[in-house]
Structure 1
């Protein structure tokens, strides 16, 4: 796992073999946005230690959606830290394993990329969090001076984004991504409903955002709102 400082003293990217997570810092309190694939609890604890803090400094684990590369480390790290696990109320039963995971509706060109991503994930099952706080659109969380929850369905039914207006930071989950070829921002792939995902993309692009953090690909660290709006125009 790679640890990359994005905003000094505030924001770090944790990059895994597939997917990524983020640590947000408010003084001596941390929040984790997504939790990496199974087996990520100890590496995340190491990242927290590199900031000079114990695992218990992490108060929240906010999950953007149910996919394994985002929730696989949540139960293990919650056990290490005592952090509260949060997800959209529609997503929570799937994250807990109480409801089946609906498969994505793949376009033909997506299939080889999806198969490649699956091969990067550990085989077998994984521990799931049993306690999840359900979130709804418009909820405000006690991090980053008030982080607003946005329900952004399409990638999954209960996908969320997290917007920190005071800092101009947006965590998009997998509804938006950085192009793997470089040179721009693209709509997310492997969706349940591409049309709903594009509606969600447009909603996020309308926000006042300087820094956009994606589930896959390099974040946009300046002028993110303009980059997102340009991508919307290119994918009408």
Structure 2
């Protein structure tokens, strides 16, 4: 795995579907999302490459409930002992206590979704192991033990309980799947349960003063992120 260092304290672990991010805390590390089921060995190997031991992982933050984000959470909790944090409205889906709602797909999204799920079937991706959510997060919550203040933003639309993380001091945003990038261009992430809500959440994130955006799909926006987000047209994506 070619690890991408985004800032001195943030790394992207790139996967074919669903990147994982590592953040150095004041005492340890946090993982943001966990990749597909079966990704835990690669994540642990990447942690070793940056000098982090499994027991130093304090938090696993899940931006939402989809398989490519929660897929290896249970295995990584077992390996690290970390606490799991997720948006309150997605926590029951992550725990597996209620089924999550289906995405509403356009024709172009449906074709992409079929291609992706066929790839999972061919690769014999194992089923998701359900995991306990230790802390349910909501709008305006702060995260403990981070080296700088971080604010939780509730950004529904992709899923009911999707969250983003805004690090104001370093002008960094972890967008979750509300934002993706294609060839350096920010777009609305596909496969939303409520497209109108997702577009509104995109526009809310685009109004933030951020320099860097860490996305789960595509390449990160490493400079002039606010200007590039404001110039985006999510209303027309995936139609």
Normalising by structure 2, report the TM-score: 0.92
For these two proteins, the number of residue pairs brought into alignment is: 233
Partner of 1:88: 87
Q: Which moved more, 1:156-165 or 1:120-129?
A: 120-129
Judge conservation of contact 1:144–1:166 (CA < 8 Å) in 2. Answer: no
Q: Does 1:108 align with 2:110?
A: no
Partner of 2:156: 153
Give the distance between the partners of 2:184 and 2:26, measured in 1 at CA.
34
Q: Which moved more, 1:138-147 or 1:168-177?
A: 138-147
1:42-81 matches, within 5 Å, as 42-81=41-80
Partner of 2:3: 3
**Structure 1 80/203 Cα, relative in aligned 2: closer, same or farther at 3 Å?**
same
Q: Does 1:189 align with 2:177?
A: no
3-state secondary structure, aligned to 1:196: helix
**Per-residue CA distance 1:187-236 (angstroms, 9 max, x = gap):** 11111111000110111111110100111000000111111111148759
Give the distance between the partners of 1:178 and 1:186, measured in 2 at CA.
6
Structure 1 position 107, deviation (Å): 0.2
Give the distance between the partners of 1:193 and 1:134, measured in 2 at CA.
22
Unaligned runs of 5+ in 1: none
Structure 1 position 124, deviation (Å): 4.2
Judge conservation of contact 2:199–2:234 (CA < 8 Å) in 1. Answer: no
Unaligned runs of 5+ in 2: none
Q: Does 1:132 align with 2:134?
A: yes
Judge conservation of contact 1:205–1:232 (CA < 8 Å) in 2. Answer: no
**Per-residue CA distance 1:115-135 (angstroms, 9 max, x = gap):** 122233343422121243100
Please, what is the CA RMSD of the aligned residues?
Answer: 1.7
Give the distance between the partners of 1:71 and 1:88, measured in 2 at CA.
12
Structure 1 position 34, deviation (Å): 0.6
Give the distance between the partners of 1:109 and 1:192, measured in 2 at CA.
15
**Structure 1 234/135 Cα, relative in aligned 2: closer, same or farther at 3 Å?**
closer
Normalising by structure 1, report the TM-score: 0.93
3-state secondary structure, aligned to 1:78: helix
Judge conservation of contact 1:177–1:215 (CA < 8 Å) in 2. Answer: yes
**Structure 1 124/35 Cα, relative in aligned 2: closer, same or farther at 3 Å?**
closer
Judge conservation of contact 1:144–1:164 (CA < 8 Å) in 2. Answer: no
Give the distance between the partners of 2:119 and 2:53, measured in 1 at CA.
29
Q: Does 1:213 align with 2:218?
A: no
Q: Which moved more, 1:9-18 or 1:148-157?
A: 9-18
Judge conservation of contact 1:18–1:120 (CA < 8 Å) in 2. Answer: no
3-state secondary structure, aligned to 2:110: helix
3-state secondary structure, aligned to 1:141: coil
3-state secondary structure, aligned to 1:166: coil
**Structure 1 230/85 Cα, relative in aligned 2: closer, same or farther at 3 Å?**
same
